[in-house]
């Protein structure tokens, strides 16, 4: 049977993360997917507010795990921990979990390069943020919540250079749609132009 478009596939034969009905195991013991989505959204929104008021300083790729834990700590036991199953989407595999160490080392090198860019060089900042975003998206290190964690990661990187960056504003779906297209298609040029247009000085 063909995989529906924009659907993930997981190699998880022993249901490490899910109940028998496919719902993610969660701290609230919710067994209905719709209810879980609502519960998750409420809990993550609260933790996101905390992240805005008390920003995490991005040091290297370990900060991505810290962000994920911050966002999902109320919902999943594995918040902030890398996935132990492999993932594909529309038949395209993400980074193999067995090679995560290599992937994280590469992300670290990109973060180091970003740190050296002058805050006044907006295009260079946008270009490097797009490259970081593209690589983190390919890494896809978590079983759930990759998009939210990676958007916060680059938002906080931009913040550290004195810029505001929101790739999912509630009043502009076009920005989010371009973000999704850029990450799905690994279109770094599109992501660069998108980020450059949304980098606003504080």
Helices (H), the chain: 33-53, 62-72, 100-115, 122-139, 146-160, 173-184, 188-198
Instruction: Give pairs for 179-185: CB < 8 Å, separation 24+.
Output: 179/151, 182/130, 182/133, 182/134, 183/133, 183/134, 183/137, 183/147, 184/6, 184/89
Provide the 10 A C-beta neighbour count for residue 201: 10
DSSP code of residue 179: H
Q: What is the pLDDT of residues 13-24, one digit of tens each?
A: 668 899 999 999
Q: What is the reported pTM?
A: 0.93
Can you name the residues that pair with 200 across neighbouring β-strands? Answer: 164
**Max Cα–Cα distance, the chain, nearest Å:** 52
- Which residue numbers in the chain have pLDDT < 70? 1-6, 13-14
Q: Is the dihedral of CA 63, 128, 133, 88 positive or negative?
A: negative
What pLDDT shows up at residue 180?
96
What pLDDT shows up at residue 155?
98
What pLDDT shows up at residue 90?
79
Spell 25-56 as b/e; 16+ CB within 10 A means b.
Answer: bbeeebeeeeebeebbeebbeebeeebeeeeb
Q: Is 1.10.238.10 the CATH number for 8-201?
A: no
Strand, helix or coil for residue 9: strand
The Cα–Cα gap between 63 and 57 comes to 7
Domain locations in the chain as residue ranges: 8-201
Which residue do the tokens 């067994």 mark? 31
What pLDDT shows up at residue 13?
64
Q: What is the length of the chain?
A: 202
């Amino acid at each position: 049977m063909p995989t529906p478009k924009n659907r993930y596939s997981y190699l998880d034969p022993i249901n490490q993360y899910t109940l028998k009905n496919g719902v993610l195991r969660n701290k609230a013991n919710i067994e209905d997917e719709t209810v879980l989505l609502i519960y998750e959204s409420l809990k993550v929104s609260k933790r996101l507010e905390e992240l805005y008021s008390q920003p995490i300083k991005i040091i290297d790729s370990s900060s991505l795990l810290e962000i994920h834990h911050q966002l999902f700590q109320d919902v999943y036991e594995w918040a902030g921990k890398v996935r132990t199953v492999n993932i594909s989407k529309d038949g395209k595999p993400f980074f193999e979990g067995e090679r995560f160490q290599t992937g994280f080392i590469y992300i670290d090198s990109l973060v180091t390069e970003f740190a050296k860019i002058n805050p006044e060089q907006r295009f260079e900042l946008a270009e490097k943020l797009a490259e970081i975003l593209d690589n983190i998206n390919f890494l896809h290190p978590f079983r759930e919540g990759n998009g939210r964690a990676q958007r916060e990661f680059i938002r906080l990187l931009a913040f550290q250079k004195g810029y505001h960056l929101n790739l999912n504003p509630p009043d502009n779906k076009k920005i989010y749609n371009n973000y999704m297209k850029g990450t799905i298609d690994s279109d770094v040029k599109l992501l660069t132009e998108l980020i450059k247009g949304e980098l606003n000085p504080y």
